[in-house]
Structure 1
Amino acid sequence: MKSSITQGVKMLATGSAVPDLCINNELISNIVDTSDEWIFNRTGIKERRILSGSTSLIDIAALASIQALDKTNINALDLDLIILATSTPNDLFGSASQLQAKIGASRAIAFDITAACSGFLIAMVTAAQFIQNGSYNNVLVVGADVLSKWTDWSDRRTCILFGDGAGAAILQSCSLLENNILGFNLNTNGQKFDQLNIQYEYSKKEDLFSTGIKGNFKYITMNGKEVYKFAVSKVPQSIQCCLSSLNLSVKQINWLLLHQANERILNAVASRLMIPSEKVISNLSKYGNTSAASIPLALNEAIEDSRIQSGDLVVMSGFGAGLTWGTLILRWNA
């Protein structure tokens, strides 16, 4: 079969933004029966950022987007497409159009992708397909979530984990020789959807037109043991599969960037792949689990502080609700 790939994909720049309000473990211990030591030993988290006041998902997504654009030679009017990966939209019908308006990208098509903690990777893969087949040249991909508004702050199992944030990446078409999005592997197991979700609970209220269909979304629920087993089993398999498809080996990885869910998961995945800890990127202690924002937030920080150097092979892997998981391999070129 003839390949439909007509051009390569280059990541031009990244950006990130987090709310100002910082909630540390000591403060949470005043709300539920826990402690800084208990939280940190089990998760690796010391603090997280939470939206407050009138600040919204779109506000932090726009800040991350503008930061990324400012590092390039293009502006918002040059964007052809905006993909917003979020599971916590401002509007249930989608929020990408609000982001488009906020940053002044009036020529861009904009839509949301909902895939929780795997959302940014799936959005990146989607963007890459549009570029590779020649449909669009400049694409903004944003991962942003405000899980704090769906967190039960009386539930010690979940309230210690989540924070809010946004991360962005600018992708641009290039020659096949300059291509630096090397490959991907995506997976879903819908049979396990109930291990991590935000359920919709039907009410008993009835009226003439909507008998039995009214209700409300509840809080985040998670089977921590099952999610841990799923992640440490499936993520290494996905990474190995993706590397093999590109004839690359684990030894060639310069940086492993996993969804920032729990330090135990990060360590277990790295251990199974025999990747040393100094090659694992983590900012979990500062932000907690920011869902779709976690990978681009950590990626941007690692690029800004010069840990990631031009030519480095970066393996990114997301996993979470759905259940969904996947890998994207990037050769960073500054």
Structure 2
Amino acid sequence: MAIRITGTGSYIPSIVEKNEDFYNHQFLNADGTSIDSPNEIIVEKFEAITGIQERRYVNEKQLNSDIAFIAATKAIEDAGIEKESIDYIIVAHNYGDIKYNTEQSDTVPSIASRVKHLLQIKNPKCVGYDLLFGCPGWIEGVIQANAFITAGIAKRCLVIGSETLSRVIDKHDRDSMIYSDGAGAVIIEKNDEKGGILAHETATYALDEAHFIFFGETNNPEITDQRRYIKMYGRKIYEFALSNVPMALKSCLEKSGKSITDVKKILIHQANEKMDEAIVNRFYKLYQMKTPQGIMPMSINRLGNSSVATVPTLLDIILKGQLENQEINKGDIIMFASVGAGMNINAIVYQY
């Protein structure tokens, strides 16, 4: 018996925002002063560091719960299950439903309740709740679903990661180019096959690191409204991730009883291409090994950083044959990993 992912689904918004679309933006420093570089140079440096060439945004009518519902519907269909048989709906997000061109986030009712309503699930024993855990939220949702099923509390869970970061970005901040929208979902249940979730690891660092990612004012001092935007200390996050994520991966792998040479893929949160490469390289250095080619699939170049949605979306597009030169085969040992606001880190070792 194993606790396994039996269905996947994702929603990739149709609006494409390319890097050259930022050439006319007014980027400012955090103190409101002008940046001493033309936008073409700012964008060029941004792409070289992050690997992002374009990102996806929802349309003006869509909400976070809408795209979470679409991804969920696809996962349910892929698993071939009856929706009324779902025991838990766990939705990882960070900013709720935010209508286009409004200032306030709406989280009542929860996104999970909204998704259950949209799915038209009648069973009151299907419990829905939201999970706020930064970018590692979807992985943490999978870990919680695993705990519910292991404890006999649930037989089948729907875990969704969904976010509309385009609604919380400061257009005067260079970091706004990182963020995107999207949703990914999985069905998790116990079945007779071997493998599934072999081990997991989670940590929260909040003594000095709690506010590395935060809600703050616009960089434009001429804007006087009370709206707040997603902000981060990029250098501190980079250094934190390189110091802590490789060790978390190693600890998780050791718990699983598997060898580093067994790992076929590492699906890491698509935060920043250079940072992700550095994390995985340092992980392999812990074993005195070079990073195997193709071990770390990337979708950030065209999808950007959609927070909780990056890992489940990446998994779905690989399984559906939509990522060139990448595949996951029966029996493969893979790892999921993420780092984000909190500061939180988590990882899973999984056998397909």
TM-score, L = length of structure 1: 0.89
Gaps of 5+ in 1: 1-6, 202-214
Offset of 1:8 from its aligned partner?
A: 3.3
* Deviations 1:191-236 (CA, angstroms, capped at 9, x unpaired): 21111112599xxxxxxxxxxxxx9561111111000011111111
* Deviations 1:34-53 (CA, angstroms, capped at 9, x unpaired): 33422210110001111221
- Give distance in 2, aligned partners of 1:138 and 1:19: 28
Aligned pairs for 1:312-327 (under 5 A) are 312-327=332-347
Gaps of 5+ in 2: 27-37, 98-105, 219-224, 285-290
Structure 1 segments, 4+ long, off by >6 Å, are none
Offset of 1:95 from its aligned partner?
A: 1.1
The one-letter amino acid of 2:83's match is A
- Aligned counterpart, 1:148: 166
Equivalent residue of 2:294, what SS? helix
Equivalent residue of 1:309, what SS? coil
Among 249, 252, 259, the residue aligned to 2:269: 259
Check the 8 A contact 1:78/1:105 in 2, yes or no: no
The one-letter amino acid of 1:239's match is L
- Aligned counterpart, 1:169: 186
- Give distance in 1, aligned partners of 2:79 and 2:280: 33
Check the 8 A contact 1:146/1:163 in 2, yes or no: yes
Residues 136 and 77 of structure 1: is their aligned pair in 2 closer, same or farther, counting only changes over 3 Å?
same
Check the 8 A contact 2:8/2:79 in 1, yes or no: no
1:245 and 2:250 matched? no
Higher mean C-alpha deviation, range 302-311 or range 257-266: 302-311
- Aligned counterpart, 1:196: 213
Equivalent residue of 1:308, what SS? coil
- Give distance in 1, aligned partners of 2:210 and 2:227: 15
1:34 and 2:73 matched? no
* Deviations 1:265-290 (CA, angstroms, capped at 9, x unpaired): 11101211232241111100011111
- Give distance in 1, aligned partners of 2:60 and 2:231: 25
- Give distance in 1, aligned partners of 2:137 and 2:5: 17
Check the 8 A contact 1:315/1:330 in 2, yes or no: yes
Offset of 1:179 from its aligned partner?
A: 4.5
Among 10, 18, 38, the residue aligned to 1:16: 10
Offset of 1:102 from its aligned partner?
A: 0.6
1:289 and 2:305 matched? yes
Check the 8 A contact 2:195/2:350 in 1, yes or no: no
Offset of 1:21 from its aligned partner?
A: 0.8
Count of residue pairs brought into register by the alignment: 311
Offset of 1:126 from its aligned partner?
A: 0.4
- Give distance in 2, aligned partners of 1:138 and 1:119: 19
1:100 and 2:116 matched? yes
